[in-house]
Structure 1
Amino acid sequence: MDLDALVDRAASLAGGGASLAGGGAARTVLGLAGPPGAGKSTLAQALRDALGDAAAYVPLDGFHLSNAQLDRLGLRSRKGSEPSFDVWGYEALLRRLVTEPFRDTYVPDFDRALDEPVAARHLVPAGATLLVTEGNYLACDLPGWREARSLMAEVWYVDATADLRDARLMRRHTGFGRDVAAARAWIDGNDRPNAELVELSREHGDLVVTSLSRN
């Protein structure tokens, strides 16, 4: 599918949820899953931009555990792995967004320059009828992720070749301070095993989407 077709499919989901109390419009959640570097955030932002005020962006990355918590749990070297996210906090936010569509809600994000999650970077306005959320593990059949998935009308699996993902990850990591050797070590020791877990969830997607091209 090209972007126009994906926008049309997303638009058909918008507001398709059950009627909700409180006088606000019904809300639908569209999830974008896929391995690191596949292009999930690029697609999410393209959909949001195309749909305008009807859509809002809710990234899973805002639920990275802080570095202090990762240090406490011995997960600093596995940042971005499945257990390094607050999945139940993420599920609770999605549930709140679906059941309380009548108020503006701020949602967190991850700041790569700070290497920490940051609160309230994004706004979900009361008028948004489609929530586009993206993250590696949204299609995984694991505790917490199953419950979050149950709040989504559809989950699209965003796919890209291993070589393309590797090149994107190398640009990402070197762009935020790692030298080439450190970036390669992080990709091979962390991003790659994370991708292998995510790839097991491909069959759970409602649609497989080829990554959008980007520079």
Structure 2
Amino acid sequence: MEEILDRIAQLGPGRRVVAIAGAPGSGKSTLAAQLVARLSGAVLVPMDGFHLDNRLLDRDGLRSCKGAPETFDAAGFVKLIERLKTGGEVIYPLFDRERDLAIAGAGRVEAETRLIVVEGNYLLLDRVPWRQLAGLWDLSVMLDVPQDELRRRLTARWQGLSRSPAEVMAHLENDLGNAEVVLRESMTADLVVQPESISLAETP
């Protein structure tokens, strides 16, 4: 955590955008929230607001792999980060996990905001159009978590949402497949951190 804070402090004046990337269950949401809590005036912008709606996923036969790169409005997300970089007020969507849907216009970055922390799985993905993001980050951080630990955290996540054992297994298989994509196809981050090197609250 302190190393990340030190790197952020070195970014200099002006609006800066920091990427916290990692596989599903790696703790990126928790780390990003903790960073924002430590940094006065910082704002957290999650990638998950760009999930495609379930109706679109059903129409395209993608519901079973929700969370894969192709189930996001990636082009829209890239445009959001470009807008955040240019400054000014920016409105963005947020994802409601319990309701399993994105809510348009639910988040706001004020014009005077100078630091934005973005968290998501595919912030460094080396695929079109995701790879356009690489040139937009002022600092990129990748969480490196062993697969066994990812499996434990993801199982607890879906059990905590009252899913049936069969549903938990289906979600787990999908999430671990997406984790493989993150690990295999992500570009190199400015900073890679291990779970033991940061203090994360025990949240799935």
2:83 equivalent in structure 1:
96
1:7 equivalent in structure 2:
5
1:19 equivalent in structure 2:
none
Q: Percent identity, aligned pairs only?
A: 41
2:116 equivalent in structure 1:
131
SS in 2 for 1:214: coil
Give the Cα separation in 1 of the matches to 2:120 and 2:68.
Answer: 11
Give the Cα separation in 1 of the matches to 2:44 and 2:180.
Answer: 26
> Is the 1:57–1:131 contact (alpha carbons within 8 Å) kept by the matching residues of 2?
yes
Instruction: Show CA shifts across 1:22-61 (max 9, x none).
Output: xxxx3121111111000111111111110021x2111110
Matched, 1:48 2:46: no
Letter in 2 for 1:80: G
1:199 equivalent in structure 2:
183
Aligned residues: 199
Instruction: Show CA shifts across 1:146-201 (max 9, x none).
Output: 1122211222111212222112111211222312332122212x111111110014
> Is the 2:98–2:161 contact (alpha carbons within 8 Å) kept by the matching residues of 1?
yes
Give 1:5 shift: 2.5
Matched, 1:113 2:98: yes
Letter in 2 for 1:79: K
Give the Cα separation in 1 of the matches to 2:40 and 2:56.
Answer: 36
Change over 3 Å in CA distance of 1:202–1:85 after alignment to 2? closer
1:59-78 to structure 2, matched below 5 A, reads 59-78=46-65
Give 1:203 shift: 5.3
Give the Cα separation in 2 of the matches to 1:52 and 1:96.
Answer: 22
- TM-score (ref. length: structure 2): 0.91
Q: Specify every segment of 5 or more residues in structure 2 that has no aligned partner in the other structure, as ranges.
A: none
Give the Cα separation in 2 of the matches to 1:67 and 1:177.
Answer: 19
Give the Cα separation in 2 of the matches to 1:51 and 1:116.
Answer: 29
1:160 equivalent in structure 2:
145
> Is the 2:125–2:187 contact (alpha carbons within 8 Å) kept by the matching residues of 1?
no
> Is the 2:51–2:72 contact (alpha carbons within 8 Å) kept by the matching residues of 1?
yes
- TM-score (ref. length: structure 1): 0.86
Give the Cα separation in 2 of the matches to 1:85 and 1:203.
Answer: 19
